[in-house]
Structure 1
Amino acid sequence: MDQTHVKNSIVQSPETRRRIILFPLPFQGHSNPMFQLANILHTQGFNITIIHTQFNSPNHSTYPHFHFRSINDQFSEVDHLRSTNRDPSFYVKYLNRSCEDPFRNCLIDLLDEEPVACLISDAMFYFTQGIADDLKLVRMVLRTSSLGCAIGYGAVPFSKEGRFNLTKQDPGYEASVPEYPLIKGKDMLKIAVNPEGYGDLVANMLKQMKASSGLIWNTIKELEEPELETINQDFQVPSFTLGPFHKHFPAPSSSSIKQDRDILSWLDTQPPKSVIYTSFGSVARITDLEFQEVAYGLANTSSPFLWVVRPGMVLGFEWIESLSEKFMESVGDRGRIVKWCPQQEVLAHPATGCFWTHNGWNSTLESICEGVPMICSPCFVDQPIIARYAGDVWKIGILLEDGFERVGIAKAIERIMMDKDGEEMRKRVIRLKEKVNLSLDEGGSSNESLKSLVAYISSL
């Protein structure tokens, strides 16, 4: 566990120790940063209670220093629908309805036991603001994506159905969206499969973020300084940018898939900055046609690769059984396919030269923190916005504009691994890495933001 940036922390005395209640959204990209934040706050002298759903329940033994309360989310009643083509907003909105009464009752019981400094809930659990107001409890919000995404969500016209029915032949498909020029019309198709449902979710989330008593962000000021200025203007509550959380306190993986740690020995045998690490996260699913394009895009390069294929990631298949023997023979020892791996260690390994990613915010931050340029294949919700930042704003990645297409994949790999463009991207991402490290040091922006957050909570 990296204690580098904990040693200079403000630690409360036992007399001033107070309890914070945290409520994570039960999906890996949300729960991991919430538990990282919980660890950070615990080192600052706060007692931590986690209220969690039964769905994706955390392993309590992993966090013996926390208290846990489980609530019945009734998610099992709709879990069988997860195999259908429902958009993510369906499940998040369902949880906001089904958790309301159990959460309220749990919170009342906890408040009867001892004083609580504040509640920190995931921003997408927007229903918690009304309950906190009723119980006169301060609610703060953890937003697990970027500042830029929050701004983009406020600007994207979810209500305009035509924007979400574009085809490649439509003029607006490749055109910038007037309300938010960073993204293109085709990005809108990925941001929301169900525009009405996702628009409603986003509107509720943003409204209750503005009604909260403070916003906590897993980012750093130097990475999104213009965006932070905009957020401070639009949201009249304090913002605390104390990321990247995992550099303060790595969180144990919440994945149910066992990590393949043997792959680190294989990486040890590869030349420096030679390996293409490919992983599309814990949720995304792709068709077999897309899967084959990824496979042959990797096979058609000369670079070694490490490819994470999560069980069930390919629609209609258990794992990689649709790959031909010819493919496996042609790749030989140059490629490795695993079900899951210790991503932060892989990105930090000297052999890793590129990260082909879905651009979830956690993965993007981890890549920046290790100075690894990216190939970007966003799948849905905030990922297209983050990918545009990586490619067009920070210029540390290449966005695959045509999706999973083997010729474009091979060209992107060659460009990032062998061309001058790739060298420049690597230099830029290494400069960002250095800024991250400075922000965490004593006097740095994230370190100071953490101190401000501790002082703010202590004053409540």
Structure 2
Amino acid sequence: MAGEEQLRDGGLHRRRVVVLFSLPFHGHLNPTLKLAALLRARGLAVTVLHTDFNAPDPARHPGLAFVPIHETPLQDTAVSPDSDILAKLLALNAAIAAPFRQALASLQDAVACAVVDGQCYAAMDAAGELGVPVLALRTDSAAALRNMLAIPRLRDAGYLPFKEEQLDEPAPGLEPLRVRDLIRVDGCDTDELCGFVTSVADAVRASVSGIVFNTFEAIEAPELAKIQRELSLPAFAVGPLHLLSQTPPPAEQSLHAPDRGCLAWLDARTPRSVLYVSLGSLACVNRAAFEEMAWGLAGSGVPFLWVVRPGMVTGGAAGEEAPPPLPDGLEEKMRGRGKIVTWAPQREVLAHDAIGAFWTHCGWNSILESICEGVPMLVQPCFADQMVNARYVTHEWGVGMEVGEVIERERVAKAVTKLMVGEDGARMRERARRLQVQASAATSLALDSLVQYILSL
């Protein structure tokens, strides 16, 4: 296979191969593959271990070697759109533990280090057991990791499980977060969540030699410094990876085929007039919330481009390939102002002059892409780190506003109008432009430091 051939190449220096491994989610795969390309460009041989489920396409990534780990058959909870993210993460960790260890062991003699998805405690533990130096790649924010590390303390202090009367209290030691902004997965068991977080934290403390973040100092310097002090580990802020890698958007890994026709539709719109709406590749809403989103968008009077992907609405048939049906009468109400696609080329959409704001689930990749294009945000976090990210967008960086915890059509229409044409929206747009300048100024110095650190392991 390709990975083994690369490792046998006599021109490669012994123990200069870096192995990368990502969980098979869109928001994890893309930053991992961008980092892989950047490390290769700096002279390191790179092998990407990957699951059979949502496997990357090697043809899109010339120069990288790919080796499947052939994980055990996945439970339905790992792949069903109706299972929550915590269930998916637990099922995936259980499925990959043994095959990842076996695959890494087969390459071990030539491996300088393994860069492992920071949510995959099973892979971090396996690499540590083999004596392979491990770096944890966090595809979420530094603020989100700080929140994860604080969960046992917050539970002991009585903040978990969540209590209604405490939701608006400040989260101690995690300002600007309130208790309602802490990482959570609605409907999941608190013991299960704490168990997962403890497994991640234990793996980091036992096996990891450093932490790599897809972030940049200008927005998260305090959080990075606190993590380094708490864990006594080096932290490398190597982002925004999509800017540093300069990977053309069409070449990126995508679990859905983008509808590029939406770019021509945007070409016909005036500058900053369109609201882009996407809840990412995993977040879901119930049918009632979906219909309120639809009628609120239609009633706002604002042109919009809305990603409505298969599986986005809970309760559909497993493996359903069609997007959920729109409410009766919606298309007539839109009167040509709205365009709906099953998936969009997001980076190109956000870079388009017609885009005035982004209604987002607050996945970390989406936030970085929005910041890098100077686009303000309307936030609707759905689970886990998205709660943390939304609070930073609105109250730390001041580049967005909340839709509201209850999705209701009049409230939606009011929030959309306020962000798109109101004075508050104009101020947020100006702050977003300032962050865009800072993101564009991010250098590869942290990446160079990471390469030197890898070579020292």
TM-score normalized with structure 2 length: 0.89
Q: Tell me, yes or no, if structure 1 residue 243 matches structure 2 residue 232.
A: no
For residues 344-382 of structure 1, give each alpha carbon's deviation from its aligned partner in whole angstroms, at most 9, with x where no partner exists.
000000000000000000000000000000000000010
Please tell me the residue identity of whatever aligns with 1:285. C
Q: Cα–Cα, structure 1 residues 135 and 175, in superposed 2: closer, same or farther, change >3 Å?
A: closer
Q: Deviations over 1:86-110 (max 9, x none)?
A: 4322222222222222122211211
Q: Trace 1:202-351 onto structure 2 (pairs within 5 A).
A: 202-211=197-206, 212-249=208-245, 250=247, 252-317=251-316, 318-324=322-328, 326-351=329-354
Over 3 Å counting, the alpha-carbon distance change for 1:164 and 1:336 in structure 2 is farther
| Residue 154 (structure 1) shift | 1.9
Indicate whether 1:22 and 2:20 are aligned: yes
Deviations 1:135-171 (A, max 9, x none): 22111110111111111122233568874454xxx42
Structure 1: distance between partners of 2:73 and 2:370 = 33
Alpha-carbon distance in 2 for matches of 1:132, 1:402: 41
Distance 1:80 1:217 in 2: 28
What is residue 99 of structure 1 aligned with on the other side?
Answer: 96
Change (3 A) 1:58 1:295: same
| Cα pair distance change 1:19/1:81, threshold 3 Å | closer
**CA distance in structure 2 between the aligned counterparts of 1:81 and 1:191, rounded to whole angstroms:** 15
Cα shift at 1:173: 3.6
Which range moved further: 244-253 or 189-198? 189-198
**Partner Cα separation in structure 2 for residue 426 and residue 87 of structure 1:** 33
Residues 22-54 of structure 1: CA deviation (Å, up to 9, x unaligned): 111111111111011101111111111111111
Closer/same/farther in 2, CA of residues 147 and 165 from structure 1, 3 Å limit: closer
Matched-pair contact (CA < 8 Å) for 1:17–1:45? no
Contact map agreement 1:276 1:304 (CA 8 A) in 2: yes
3-state SS of 1:22 partner: strand
Give the CA deviation at 1:421.
1.1
Task: State the AA in 1 paired with 2:351.
Answer: A
Residue 127 of structure 2 aligns with which residue?
A: 132
Return the alpha-carbon distance in structure 2 between the equivalents of residues 176 and 75 of structure 1.
43
Q: Paired residue for 1:38, among 36, 39, 47?
A: 36
Match of 1:50 in 2: 48
Structure 1: how far apart are the matches of 2:263 and 2:295?
Answer: 24
1:269 & 1:233 partners in 2: Cα distance? 51
CA 1:177–1:214 in 2, change beyond 3 Å: closer, same or farther? closer
**CA distances 1:262-311 after superposition (whole Å, capped 9, x unpaired):** 11011011110010000000001111100111011111112110000011
1:314 offset after TM fit, Å?
1.4
Backbone CA RMSD of aligned residues: 2.2
Structure 2 residue 420 is the aligned partner of structure 1 residue 417: yes
CA distance in 1 between partners of 2:217 and 2:78 (Å): 40
For residues 197-230 of structure 1, give each alpha carbon's deviation from its aligned partner in whole angstroms, at most 9, with x where no partner exists: 1211112212322331111100001111111221
Give 1:176 deviation, angstroms.
3.4
Residues 81 and 314 of structure 2 are in contact (CA less than 8 Å); yes or no, is this contact kept in structure 1?
A: no
Q: Is the 8 A contact 2:135 2:210 kept in 1?
A: yes
- C-alpha change, 1:86 and 1:195, in structure 2 (3 Å) is farther
TM-score normalised by the chain length of structure 1: 0.89
Shift of 1:129: 3.2
Corresponding letter in the other structure for 2:94: R
1:103-252 equivalences under 5 Å are: 103-112=100-109, 115-156=110-151, 157-158=154-155, 163-164=160-161, 166=163, 170-178=164-172, 180-188=174-182, 190-191=184-185, 193-211=188-206, 212-249=208-245, 250=247, 252=251
Structure 1 spans left out of the alignment, 5+ residues: 1-12, 441-446
Distance in 1 of aligned mates of 2:216 and 2:295: 37
Cα 1:243/1:110, change in 2 over 3 Å: same
**Partner Cα separation in structure 2 for residue 197 and residue 122 of structure 1:** 20
Conserved in 2, the CA contact under 8 Å of 1:210 and 1:236?
A: no
